[in-house]
Structures are given as C-alpha cells and as structure tokens.
Chains A and B, each alone.
Chain A
Amino acid sequence: MLDWLFSVEALGAFLTCFATLMIFSFLYRDNPFYKFAEHVFVGVSTGYGIVLMWFQILRPNLLDRLVPPVDAVRQQLFRAGELSPDAYASAPVSLAQRLAHGQFVYYVFLALGVLMLFKISRKYHWLSRWPLAYVIGAFAGIQIIQAAQGALVPQLEATMKDFSGRETLVTWMADSCRVLPAAELGTRRVEQQDWLAGWMSALGVDSTRAAAAGKAWQAEQERRLNEVAGLASLETPGVDLQAAFKRMRQGQAQLVGRDGDFEALLCAAAGGRSLDSLVLQANPLSVEVAPWQSTLALAATHVWLESPAGREALGERFATVLKLPATVAAEALAFPEGEPSLAQIYKAEAFPAAAQPDWSLPSTRRLADSLLSDVNARPARLADWKSSQLADLVQRLQAAGSGDLLRGLEARMKAFDALGEPARGQARESFLSFWHQGVTRELRDLRQTWLLHTIALHTSPDLLSAFSREELSAFRADPAGWAEAHGVRDASGQTAPVSAARVRTGMAVEIISNLLVLVGVCAGIFYFFFSKKHTGALGVLSKVGIAFLMMSFGASFGYTVMGRISLAIGRFQDLLAWPWMAGTALVVLMVALYLESRRQA
C-alpha cells in the first residue's frame, strides 16, 4: 500500500483529483487556486498543441516532403533502377540527395507559412494577407459546395416526401407477414426473420422436407467452396488459403445458410430432386439491396439445369406469386435465339467447370471491363499475380480485346514489385488474404450480375413495382386476408395478426407527420424572409414558423441540459474512481482556501 502511495500512478490520481477540485472551487467563489489551475490548463494545452503540431503536421506533411527521410529516398532510387535490391538496406543517402528528391512545390507553402508570421509585424503585416487569402478563399469555395451539395439539396429532397404512407405500409407488411419487400425502403432495413418460412408456405412446400434438403445443400456447398479454394491455391508456402476462404465464408455463412434453404425448398417444390448435381456457389446477397427476385432467379436457374417440369412449375410461380403476365414469365425462362440461356451461362461459370464464358458477348466484356477497372484502381489486390489464374485471366482478356486494361494491369504489377522487399514482406499476408476475398468475391458478383442482367432484360422494372403496388393495396385493405391468400405465415404458423384499422392508422400518422414537417420547414423558412412585412397570410405563416422554431429550440435546450449534466457526471465518476485521493485532495484544498481567506482578511 505504501509503495503504491508513492508511485507514479498515485501521483497521477492525486493530480487528477486536485486539478478537478481546483476548478470546482470556482463554484464556491473565485479564488487564486482556480486562477492557478486555469492558467496551468492554458499552458499545458498550448504546449501540447505545439508538440502535436510539430510531430503530426509540420514534420510529416512539410519537412519530410522538403527533405525526405532516408528510407523514402532509397525507395525512389530503387524504383528508378539506381539501386539494386542487395544495396537497398545499406546504401548511404546524402543530404543533397534528400533535398534533390524533395517536392519543390512545398517550398511555396513553406514561404506562405512564413509570410503568415508577418502578421505580428506592424510594417509588414500586409504580407500575411497572401496565406490568409489562400485559406479563406479555399474555404469559401468548399463552403459553397458543402452548403449546396451537402445541406441544401439533400434536405430539400428529404422534405419532399410522398404522402402515400407507403413506407409504413411496407414496414407493416414485412414485419407482420414476414415477407421481404426488397429495395423500397432504401437504407432502412426490414427485419427478415422467418421470411423463408413465409415463402415456403407461399409456395406450398413441406417445411420438414425443405429443411432437410437445405442442410444437405449447405454441406454440399461447403465441399464445393473447399474445392474452389483448392483450385485457387498459389504455389506460395506458408499461406493458409483454406483458412483464408473459410474466413471469407464465415462472414457470410448466415446468408449462405438462408439462401441454401430457400433454394433447397424451391428445388423440392420442383419435384424433390437430388441436390448433388446442382452447381453451387456462395450467394453474397447484401441485406440492404436484398433483391429477392435475384434469389428466385438463382434458384430457378438451378432447377432449369435439371428439370423441365421444374421450369414449368416455376414459370407458374413467377406468374402467380410475382403477378407477372404469363408471357413475361415464359420469356424469363427462355431466350431469343443466338443468346445463351441462363442455364448455359450458369453452367459455364461454375467452378471447376471446364467450359469457359463466352467473352465475345458485349455484356460479358462490359462486365469484365468493369471488374478489371475496379481491380486496377486498387493495386493492393495484385498481391501475387504469378498464379495460373492470372495467366488464365490474361488470356481471356486478350481474347476479349481488352488491350488497354491489360497494359494498366501490367503497370500495376510493376508498381507493386517496386514497393521494396521490406514493405512487400510486411504487406504480403494481408495482401493475399485480401486478394482471395476481393477477387473471388468479384468473380462471384460477376456471375450474380449476369443473372440479374439477364433477368432484367426480360422482366420489366415497371411490372415489379406494379406488383408491389397491387400487393400493398391488397394488404392495406385486408392484411389477414392477403396473408391467407398467399399462405404467408410467421414462424409460429399464424397469419398476419395486424388489423386493417391499425395499418390505416399507421399510414395516416406517417402522412400527417410528413405534412407537418413540410409545413414546419416552409413556415420556418418564411419566418426568415424579411423582404416583406409579416402581415396577413405571411404573418400567420411566420407565426407557425416561430412555433416550430421554438419547439426545436426547446428540444435543443433539453439536450443541452442533458449534455452539461453528463459532463458533471463524468467528473464525479472520475473523482469517485479514487475516493481516498479525492477526499485527501478536498481536505488539502479546503485548508488552503481557509488559509487564503484568512490572509485576505
């Protein structure tokens, strides 16, 4: 105990408590100890700022650019071919070399910075206007864009909402009936628990059978992924690629599981066929976008590969569940002559399929181009391009005629090679892991995108939104009836419990809220319009505006009180963390204050 009392930790605790109480003593009365603490604070914060300014800004952003460190100069010499790999670590670098490799434009900024200091001079203070104008001018430009792009347009857009109550309706629909309404909600995610159960019921599939099929499907998928990992393994010792792939997969295991169940049940709906021959892939569906129609299309593809009866059944389902016209549903399952069918594309892109994608197709090339443009922008992905995969990809690109992209790719490879051995060594582990994740994901997304692309060609977006509107209207009129009609049930087997009255009330509340916000914003803006006297209608509007503004100021005040009290709570929490130290500091301070008041008297 005695040891601790004389330790640095105890000194720190006492200093913390004493400094806190010295400031708090101001609440009792203004006194020299508070003044002392206040001045010490200004000194400490200024000193802290000086140190940080040097180490975190002036040295890295200015000095190191004017006079680069030795390592940076070695790297540049190596890249220029003036330094061999053997001499890299030990080559001497003179000051002259360092100065020669500096970025000369920063001398301008150094000069401007020095000119700023002339503000102190009475005679030459006008020189400080130049750097000041630089900063003020820059911020004026930033402010215009910030205000227009970041504040004005988004806020105006957000105020002009539709007054249909659609958002509430869709949320109710999804929450109550566990149906996935896809992308209408934008960034607001809908709870999707048990949505599969709803779809299973909707499609008339026996749940036990589908669950068993789902488990088998998932096991098969893991086997396929391990095969993929094996194929993609590089001849690089010490890198656990299986682990890399597993890591990638684990993050998406939940989604994979869900989609596996869904696909399994659809296959079961198509006649209970075996899953062994299915072409499997992980399905990285983003929950936000969650295009249920793509999942349906994906599963449909599996079935097309094997079962004409399944195709027919699914065509019927497309027509019934999605409310697509029969002709469109039929079109979604067949393609005009000359274009490969979905099944063919799917088969071609399966790992480890023998068939190659048709790179002569414009859509194929477009997608490959966008993939490679993205990869080019991130050189970290080119961790190890000595694999057979690279050779294969390069061949494909050559066949597709993407010459420019190839050249860009080669330049990136060189840039990576020029990083220097130490940096490469450090970066290798993360590069490889990221490469597997990144490139494999992109190839997977590429397949996914082709499927979506093909479906989109044959399924009008208008029809899908029309489907949504019809379904929403039906739901609003009679939620329980709609759920019954679609056979949609929640996990416990119940149909939608929400009543039509409740749904309508919720929608009314949303409409009124949106209207109120619109009225409030307009009234608030009109209040600040001083070019016309606030009389008559404008007077009423400005009074409404004042009311809204007062309510918002009230809310701000409430939060301000909360914030200030929180700060006080924090201080007392810190004091109570060291109760004995706080008590001692309090006694010392009280004695000091008493003596000081005696001295004053």
Chain B
Amino acid sequence: MKALLLRALSRFLALDRRWIFLLMALCIVTPLILPIGLPFTPDPAVRNLHRAIEDLPEGSVVLVSCDYDPGSKPELQPFTEALFRHLFRRKLKVVVSCLWAGAPPLVNQAIAQALEAEEVKVLGLKDKVDYVNLGYKDGRQLVMLGMGENIHSTFPKSNDGTPVSQIPLMQRMRKLGDSQLFVNVSGGSPGTKEWVETAQGRFGLRMVAACTAVMAPDNIPYYEAGQLLGLAGGMKGSADYEQLVGLPGSATRGMAAQSFGHLLIIAFIALGNVAFFMTRGRKR
C-alpha cells in the first residue's frame, strides 16, 4: 500500500507542469462562470480607510495619487472605481495625479465609470470644478517634493492640456498640505513607501493607501505606526472596500476564485511536502 502510494506520489511529482497550469486555470475560471457568493468580513485596516473618507466634511479636497499600471489592474482598478464613486457620492472634491505612465487612461476610465452611476449623475458634477485629472509626471520623489511646495509649478497643465491656473478646483489646491486627505493607490515603486517616507510626515498629510498584495506586508509598519490611517491590500482589500461602500464589483466577484486558487496552492504545497518526506524516508 505504502509502495503504491509512493509510486503514485513520485509520478505525481514528475507531472508535466502544463497539467498544473490547466488545473490552476480551471480553479480560477469555474467560480467565475458559476458564481459562489461567499461572505467575508472587511479587514480593520480597510474599515479605517473607509472611515477616514467618511469623516470628511462635504467639499473637502481629496488628492488621489494613482501610481499603478495595467500590470496591477485587477487588484487596484476595482478599488479606484469604488473610491471615485465613494468620493463623488460624499460630494468631496477630487484631484488626481499619477507617477506611473500607464495610469492616466485607467484613471479616466474609473472616473467615467463613477460619473455614470445613478447616485453620482444626479449631483451634476463638473470637470475642473468638482474633480480634475492632472495627469502624469516622471520624477519619483522630486515630483512629491515639488507637489509639497507648489503643485501648480510641478503640474502646469492638467491631463487634457488645460493650464492649471485656470482650473477652479486648483485655486484651493496649491500644495499637498491643502488637501484634507491623501489617497495613494500604488502598484509598486514609486508608490506608498516613497509617499509615506518623503511626503506624509514632511507635509503633515492625512494619508491612506491601497496597494498590491505583494506590497501590503511591507506597508503594515506604516499603518501600525500611524503614518497611514488606513490600508487596503490586494484584491481582498479592494473587495473589502467595495463591500464597505456597498458597491460589489469585480474584486468581490473574484473572491471565490481567489479562495479556490489559494486552496489549490495549499494543496500543492502539502502534497509536494508529503511526497518529499515520504520519498526522502524511503531513500534513507
């Protein structure tokens, strides 16, 4: 029996990895095709992020720095879409900037989607008065320091080429410290780490962040030290936020697939280790 099991495990270990790829694909696709609505509890850090936005009085200016590209889209775009809808619904003023070249069109897509929502349409929000996309600048911390001193100098024009001096919303937003909340949506570097270390303390920003799952453990120290008021990590963080604002989207729908993917990886790790220890025992 044991020999049979060992033989099976050895053959399993030598399996062509394309079967593993196929199994992974099936694990992900099946819950997407046959949705399983699994409930989940939002993380406390995401609750604090949501609360930081809810606490803002109407008319407050929120600066959103979208520092990601299509490589992080599945994790961060759902958050960005829910964020803009939440901000618009709360009647907050939104200024967007980007440190990654791939971000501006994704931001425009998220804003357009948020403006199409029923509860936002009735507000009659106007571009350049209620929200503005300043576009992209390359320069990492130089851009952050420039924004901390004078945003108008760092971003002389908005994403669509309008001089910033002629944008009504930007008249009350001269530097980073003029915002009541700073939201960073980060896909890597430059991102949350650079913003927190370079700008948050120096300019006294109230800051929250959403980041990819890979970066989330690295950003926990900033959250625990109080440098970040809230933190949403990965697709789970985006799903938590969607739930808190009552707008279930692609992140929430992906949670079931995420569950099965994780369970498959855990099964692989367990099986691989069982096979390893059993074959190692046999060799001894």
Contact = CB atoms under 8 A, between A and B. Distances in A.
A569 B225 contact: no
A536 interface: no
A48 interface: yes
A247 B60 CA distance: 12
B136 A52 contact: yes
Nearest to A151: B197
Nearest to A158: B225
A340 interface: no
A378 B229 CA distance: 26
B204 interface: no
Contacts of B73: 570
B213 interface: yes
A563 B212 contact: yes
Contacts of A146: 141, 194, 197-198
B166 A426 contact: yes
Interface in A128-147: 138-139, 142, 145-147
Interface in A386-434: 419, 422-423, 426-427, 429-431, 433-434
Interface string A16-38: 00000000000110000000000
A572 interface: yes
Interface string B184-214: 0000000000101110111000000000111
Given A64-B156, A552-B217, A565 B165 contact: no
A419 B156 CA distance: 16
Contacts of B154: 61
Interface string A218-259: 000000000000000000000000000001101110000000
A559 interface: yes
A53 B138 CA distance: 8
B57 interface: yes
Contacts of B222: 154
B39 interface: no
A507 B75 CA distance: 36
A155 B89 CA distance: 36
| Range of interface residues on B (Cβ < 8 Å) | 35 or more
A100 interface: no
B59 A422 contact: no
B250 interface: yes
Interface in A147-187: 147, 149-151, 154-155, 157-158, 186-187
A559 B250 contact: no
Given A142-B141, A569-B32, A573-B250, A251 B59 contact: yes
Contacts of B46: none
Contacts of A154: 201, 222, 225-227
A569 B235 contact: yes
A427 B171 contact: yes
A555 interface: yes
A560 B214 contact: yes
Interface stretch (B7-15, B112-120, B257-265, B271-279): B257-265
Contacts of B253: 573
B262 A423 contact: no
A559 B234 contact: yes
Q: Which of B75, B213, B234, B265 has the most CB of A within 10 A?
A: B213
Contacts of A567: 71-72, 74-75
Contacts of B258: 562, 565-566, 569
Contacts of B163: 69, 71-72
Interface in A83-116: none
Contacts of B91: 251
Contact of A570 (B55, B196, B250): B250
A544 B268 CA distance: 29
Contacts of A571: 74
Per DSSP, are chain B's interface residues mostly helix, strand or loop, or mixed? helix
Nearest to A431: B171
A454 interface: no
B129 A430 contact: yes
A502 interface: no
B178 interface: yes
Contact of B161 (A55, A559, A562, A570): A55
Interface stretch (B21-29, B80-88, B240-248): B21-29
B59 A569 contact: no
A17 B136 CA distance: 28
B233 to A, nearest CB: 7
A505 interface: no
A158 B138 contact: no
A8 to B, nearest CB: 16
B28 A52 contact: no
Contact of A380 (B161, B171, B214, B262): B171
A437 interface: yes
Contacts of B262: 561-562, 565
A284 B218 CA distance: 37
A188 B202 CA distance: 21
Contacts of B236: 562
A568 B172 contact: no
A430 B216 CA distance: 38
Contacts of B137: 56-57, 61
Interface in A523-545: none
A189 B145 CA distance: 30
A155 B21 CA distance: 41
Interface in B21-60: 21, 24-25, 28-29, 32-33, 48, 51, 55, 57-59
A556 interface: yes
8 contacts: A60-B156, A61-B137, A154-B201, A157-B225, A158-B221, A188-B48, A434-B171, A562-B262
Given A28-B18, A188-B48, A562-B234, 17 more contacts: A52-B104, A139-B140, A142-B145, A146-B194, A154-B201, A158-B226, A250-B58, A251-B57, A251-B91, A252-B57, A429-B129, A559-B214, A567-B72, A567-B75, A572-B28, A572-B29, A576-B32
Ordered nearest first, which 3 A-B pairs have the shortest CB separation? A570-B74, A150-B197, A563-B213
